[in-house]
Amino acid sequence: MRNVLPLNYFGSIGYFQQLLRPDSVIDVHEHFIKQTGRSRCEILSANGRIHLSVPISKPHGSKTAMKDVVVSYATDWQRIHWKAIESAYASSAFFEDYGPDIQELIFSKPILLHELTISTIELVNRWLDLKLKFVCSDRFMEGSQINDLRNKELDHSTITKYYQLFSNPGDFQSGLSILDLIFSEGPMARKWLIP
């Protein structure tokens, strides 16, 4: 049975754990669903959780497939995302290692949302040497032979805790973007993804 996942913008630890399963496929033909990880992520700052959302336009309205969703540049979201990430993680041990790559990616001005989100997966794959060979669907995935994770909350309750820059001891924040783990643990972040 194949795991069917959506594309996620700097997805969570749980997302990457699922993506590493050899039977996983990313459905780029599903309809875009707003207010989900498809265009947003959460990071942790001194003021709590920050939601970062990529503005988009849907050329075919509510029936726009993920592969056709366009990134909007009507607002200066790139600067907002970068400043939030920089503010949250500049004092982390690994900011100098990964920050420049993130800045370059955010300001690269991709036209399509799936190009941006695939680039975030490729970046994490390269940083952590995951040997990830993800597959994107060539059609909308459906049927009884799939484990449909596109609209399910991933379980983060079993994620091993790690040191977080802005959480109090015993107050671990789960479900954050993989960026939080990477800035905290650097290359050792692999341990949270690969058992």
Segments making up each domain of the chain, as ranges:
2-193
Reduced DSSP (H G I as helix, E B as strand, rest coil) percent helix, strand, coil of the chain, to 5 = 35, 15, 50
User: Widest CA span of the chain, in angstroms?
Assistant: 47
Report pLDDT digits (tens) over 177-190: 999 999 999 999 99
- DSSP assigned state of 100: H
Report pLDDT digits (tens) over 108-159: 999 999 999 999 999 999 999 998 888 899 999 887 788 888 888 877 777 8
H or E element in which residue 44 lies: strand 40-45
**Which pLDDT band holds residue 100 (cuts at 50, 70, 90)?**
very high
Q: What is the pTM of this model?
A: 0.92
Which residue pairs, CB below 8 angstroms and at least 24 apart, start in 19-24?
19/121, 19/132, 19/134, 20/130, 20/132, 20/193, 20/194, 24/134, 24/135
User: What is the pLDDT averaged over residues 68-72?
Assistant: 97
Predicted pLDDT at 176: 95
